[in-house]
Amino acid sequence: MADFDAIVVGAGCAGSVAAYELASAGKSVLMVERGNYAGAKNMTGGRIYSHSLKKVFPNFEQEAPLERRVVTERVSLMSPDANLTIGFRSDEMLKEGQDSYTVLRGPFDQWLASKAEEAGAEAIYGIAVESLLKDGSGKVTGVRAAEDEISAEVVILCDGVNSLLTAEAVGFKTPEPHTMAVGIKQVIELPSAVVTDRILAVSDDEGAAWLFAGDATHGHIGGGFMYTNRDSISLGIVATISDLMANSSTPIYQMLEDLKRHPSVAPLIRGGKVVEHSGHMVPEGGFDMMPDMVGDGVLLAGESAMMCVNLGYQVRGMDYAIAAGQMAGIEAAKALDNGNTSKAGLMGYQQALEDSFVLKDLRQFRRFPHFMESTSRIFNEYPALARDVMNEMFVCDGTPVKPLRKSVMPLVKQVGLLNIVKDVRGGVSAL
């Protein structure tokens, strides 16, 4: 007889929710986390869309350690000496199930793990799972951790993008450098009222999400991000590894320091104190880099399954992880009830993902990573073009004004009208 019905590896969004669902279904669950506490090793930028979390915890707003509700979206094309920003506010963003919140993953992940423990899951922290146990047929039957062998009817891997277990579980190969990015983030402490005033919010409960393309990564593939917390700002950079290795002479930590000094960012963090500095690998290859999510005795969810998408104007991962964790927990419980945790018995999870927004979204955007990788003008020419066009519109120096079309068209021709048309069509088709 197995030691547990289920073992969940990882206590992030996917893992804690999977453990919660299994424990709520009356199953014996062990959740193993290599960090000293849930969220100890997580540096995700810090924004969660509420829709998936509400399906697990309908009243999460009343108890979860949320920072600010996002009421303003900003997207920037940034050159070294200028910045064109589009700002957006909408009542639609604030409706229940359509809203989003900034979070600090340490407190948030600890709360989420506590919900799993309250439901009956056992949790062990500070121990890394070294390998998987398998029977003679190759079916996963448990884990090996800290020289102990612990058996289970089903194992759910939610141990992040750097998982050492997915290769054992489903034969997943090491991702190619062009499908992976490296992220670096700082949390900069400021008084709540200062953050509120600087983002022009109405109250300390309101916040902003801001994404940067162009000079944030010195023209390399990737971008910057900023999320406002209650009494701090999360500021960071994500850049594609292959591009950094081949083409960049500037390390990513220097890119972040340069972003902090940019005239559009420096006023927001002026006088702030860096209280956290962290780095993380980020999957950016989309649907085509995902491993098999079901094996004999094993399921994958969250970043272990590479469930992440970066569209330039929107970055998502936590809502996918929570939804996948919920489905993994529910379907694993069903398989346990049916007495069949083979690959065939666990395929309800695959079908649930196929029927949900998770795989439908990732499949819809499967061409976008290639578009970003092959369209360097997004990070170089277009921020410069935006700057030059805006200068023509807003700079007055006493010389006679030209018709706007005569001043703008030469700038457009420098980039190439056909290139612009090609990139617009490529971007639209990839979305």
In this structure, the answer to whether residues 319 and 425 fall within a common structural domain is no
Residue 49 inside a domain? The answer is yes
Q: Residue 75 is inside which H or E element, if any?
A: strand 69-79
Q: What is the mean pLDDT of the chain?
A: 93
pLDDT at 273: 97
Structure tokens at 299: 């399921």
Q: Does residue 327 sit in helix, strand or coil? A: helix
pLDDT at 45: 66
Cβ(108)–Cβ(46) below 8 Å: no
Residue 78 inside a domain? The answer is no
Task: Report the distance separating Cα 301 and Cα 9, nearest Å.
Answer: 10
DSSP 8-class letter at 62 = G
Residue 95 inside a domain? The answer is no
Phi-psi domain of 157 (left: phi exceeds 0; alpha: psi -120 through 50; beta: other): beta
Residue 86 inside a domain? The answer is no
In this structure, the answer to whether residues 38 and 160 fall within a common structural domain is yes
Instruction: Name the domain boundary from 321, 348, 364.
Output: 364
**Mean pLDDT along residues 41-48:** 79
In this structure, the answer to whether residues 317 and 331 fall within a common structural domain is yes
Cβ(207)–Cβ(316) below 8 Å: no
pLDDT at 414 over 70: yes
Q: What is the pLDDT of residues 174-192, one digit of tens each?
A: 888 888 899 999 999 999 9
pLDDT at 312: 83
Instruction: Work out the angle at residue 84's Cα, subtended by the Cα atoms of residues 78 and 90, and round it to the nearest 5 degrees.
Output: 120
Q: Residue 132 is inside which H or E element, if any?
A: strand 129-134
In this structure, the answer to whether residues 111 and 17 fall within a common structural domain is yes
Residue 97 inside a domain? The answer is no
% residues pLDDT > 90 (the chain): 77
Please state the φ and ψ torsions of residue 206, each to the nearest 5 degrees. -100, 145
Give the pTM.
Answer: 0.94
In this structure, the answer to whether residues 313 and 350 fall within a common structural domain is yes
CA 242 and chain centroid, separation? 19
Which residues form the domain of 274?
178-283
Task: Report the distance separating Cα 332 and Cα 330, nearest Å.
Answer: 6
As a residue count, the chain comes to 431
pLDDT at 346: 98
Cβ(365)–Cβ(60) below 8 Å: no
- Between 279 and 4, where is the model more confident? 4
Residue 202 burial (C-beta neighbours within 10 Å; 0-12, 13-18, 19+): exposed
pLDDT at 374 over 90: no
Total domains in the fold of the chain: 3
Report the largest interatomic distance among the alpha carbons of the chain, rounded to a whole angstrom. Answer: 87
Residue 154 burial (C-beta neighbours within 10 Å; 0-12, 13-18, 19+): buried
**Mean pLDDT along residues 407-424:** 89
Q: What is the pLDDT of residues 224-244, one digit of tens each?
A: 999 999 999 999 999 999 888
In this structure, the answer to whether residues 267 and 349 fall within a common structural domain is no
Q: Specify the residue for token string 């491993």.
A: 291
Instruction: Name the domain boundary from 283, 315, 338.
Output: 283
pLDDT at 46: 87
Task: Report the distance separating Cα 168 and Cα 285, nearest Å.
Answer: 21
In this structure, the answer to whether residues 168 and 245 fall within a common structural domain is no
In this structure, the answer to whether residues 279 and 419 fall within a common structural domain is no
Q: Does residue 184 sit in helix, strand or coil? A: strand
Task: Report the distance separating Cα 363 and Cα 288, nearest Å.
Answer: 8
**Mean pLDDT along residues 284-297:** 94
In this structure, the answer to whether residues 376 and 316 fall within a common structural domain is no
Please state the φ and ψ torsions of residue 423, each to the nearest 5 degrees. -70, -40
Question: Using 50, 70 and 90 to split pLDDT, how confident is the model at 404?
Answer: confident
**Mean pLDDT along residues 324-344:** 98
In this structure, the answer to whether residues 187 and 147 fall within a common structural domain is no
Task: Report the distance separating Cα 61 and Cα 31, nearest Å.
Answer: 25
**Mean pLDDT along residues 82-102:** 95
**Mean pLDDT along residues 73-101:** 95
Residue 33 inside a domain? The answer is yes
Q: Domain containing 246 — which CATH number?
A: 3.30.9.90
Question: Using 50, 70 and 90 to split pLDDT, how confident is the model at 50?
Answer: very high
Q: Domain containing 136 — which CATH number?
A: 3.50.50.60
pLDDT at 267: 96
Cβ(288)–Cβ(178) below 8 Å: no
**Mean pLDDT along residues 156-176:** 91
Cβ(229)–Cβ(210) below 8 Å: no
Structure tokens at 422: 């090609």
> Could you tell me which residues come within 8 angstroms of residue 266 by beta carbon, excluding any fewer than 6 positions away?
260
Residue 332 inside a domain? The answer is yes
Residue 90 inside a domain? The answer is no
Q: Does residue 313 sit in helix, strand or coil? A: coil
Task: Report the distance separating Cα 53 and Cα 267, nearest Å.
Answer: 34
Instruction: Name the domain boundary from 266, 283, 300.
Output: 283
Pairing mode, strands 29-33 and 122-125: parallel
Please tell me the least confidently modeled range out of 109-118, 346-355, 374-383.
Answer: 374-383
Task: Report the distance separating Cα 224 and Cα 83, nearest Å.
Answer: 13
In this structure, the answer to whether residues 53 and 126 fall within a common structural domain is yes
**Mean pLDDT along residues 84-109:** 95
Pairing mode, strands 148-157 and 4-9: parallel
In this structure, the answer to whether residues 320 and 426 fall within a common structural domain is no
Cβ(411)–Cβ(385) below 8 Å: yes
pLDDT at 8: 98
Structure tokens at 339: 């007495």
- Between 295 and 242, where is the model more confident? 295
